[in-house]
């Protein structure tokens, strides 16, 4: 799997706790690790705050579709 997932739909676990799915808006290397900004299919509440986008570690991506 390539590290650049921009424009692809992904599934995974945000913060290793919240199952998410959405479209990758951008993929970036930060501090030697790959992170993806994911626009969620459905907004969610994370620790009391609403989220429509999340920054996800590459290692927590479990499924990729184009």
Q: Does residue 2 sit within a domain?
A: no
Domain that holds residue 14: 9-65
Q: Does residue 23 sit within a domain?
A: yes
Q: Does residue 1 sit within a domain?
A: no
Domain count, the chain: 1
pTM: 0.91
Q: Does residue 3 sit within a domain?
A: no
Q: Does residue 4 sit within a domain?
A: no
CB burial of 9-46 (b: ≥16 within 10 Å; e: otherwise) equals bbbbebeeeeebebbbeebeeeeeebbbbbebeeeeee
CATH number of the domain at 14, please.
2.30.30
* Whole-angstrom distance, CA of residue 29 vs CA of residue 54: 16
Per-residue model confidence as pLDDT tens digits over 10-57: 999 999 999 999 999 999 998 999 999 999 999 999 999 999 999 999
* Residue found by looking up tokens 């590290």 in the block: 3
Q: Does residue 15 sit within a domain?
A: yes
Q: Does residue 38 sit within a domain?
A: yes
């Amino acid at each position: 799997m390539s590290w650049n997932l921009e424009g692809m739909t992904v599934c995974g676990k945000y913060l290793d706790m919240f199952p998410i799915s959405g479209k990758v808006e951008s993929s970036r290397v930060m501090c030697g690790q790959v992170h993806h900004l994911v626009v969620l299919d459905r907004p969610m509440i994370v620790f009391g705050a609403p989220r429509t986008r999340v920054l996800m570690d590459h290692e927590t991506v479990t499924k990729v579709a184009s």
